[in-house]
Structure 1
Amino acid sequence: MVKLRLKRTGKKKAAFYRIVATDARVKRDGEYIELIGTYNPINGDVKIDQDIAYKWLSTGAQPTDTVRNLLSKEGLMTKLHNERQVSKPKKSTKK
């Protein structure tokens, strides 16, 4: 299963994260499939390539809780939710 999660980089006491798509079995700072964006918790700066993130989410990648919150702030989770609601056909009630 593919997960969207944070990969820690940076120095001690000065964390910096990359938002990556990775296999769930790989270590936190191990290899990743694709880089999606960056997150700097010190100043709250988030940079996400929305096209790549949307591609992974639409193919079934599961974001971690923190990444889900970051994607929600960027408006990506709402966009994905709205598209899924539109694509579902309504059930007909025939008797």
Structure 2
Amino acid sequence: MVVIRLSRGGAKQRPFYNIVVTDSRNRRDGAFIERLGFYNAVAHEGEEQVRIALDRVNYWIGVGAQPSPTVARLVKDFSKKATQPAA
């Protein structure tokens, strides 16, 4: 099964996650098919915390990829923020 999940990077105590499409049998930080964005869990003021290519996420979900619960939450929050008009 193809899944959309987080792949951990960064240093100790400074997690940084890539949002990737991968086969569910691969290791968490192993090989992946495509990188869809990132999530910086410890972003400071003024730093970008989440960036997601929503068109690619929708494509992969359309062809049967299953997002993890965390990725589904991040995509929902990011798409809500992306559709709001800029102030």
TM-score relative to the length of structure 1: 0.76
CA RMSD in angstroms, aligned pairs only: 1.3
What is the distance in 2 between the residues matched to 1:40 and 1:75? 17
Name the structure, 1 or 2, with higher relative contact order (CA <8 Å, separation 6+).
2
Q: List structure 1 segments (4+ residues) > 6 angstroms apart after TM superposition.
A: none
What is the distance in 1 between the residues matched to 2:54 and 2:34? 13
Stretches of structure 1 that go unaligned for 5 or more consecutive residues are: 77-95
Find the counterpart in structure 2 of residue 63 from structure 1. Answer: 67
Find the counterpart in structure 2 of residue 41 from structure 1. Answer: 41
Q: Is the 8 A contact 2:6 2:18 kept in 1?
A: yes
Find the counterpart in structure 2 of residue 54 from structure 1. Answer: 58
Please give the residue correspondences for 1:63-82 in structure 2 after superposition, counting only pairs within 5 Å. Answer: 63-75=67-79
Aligned residues: 76
Which structure has the bigger radius of gyration? 1
Deviation, 1:61, is 0.4
Stretches of structure 2 that go unaligned for 5 or more consecutive residues are: 81-87
Find the counterpart in structure 2 of residue 21 from structure 1. Answer: 21
TM-score relative to the length of structure 2: 0.83
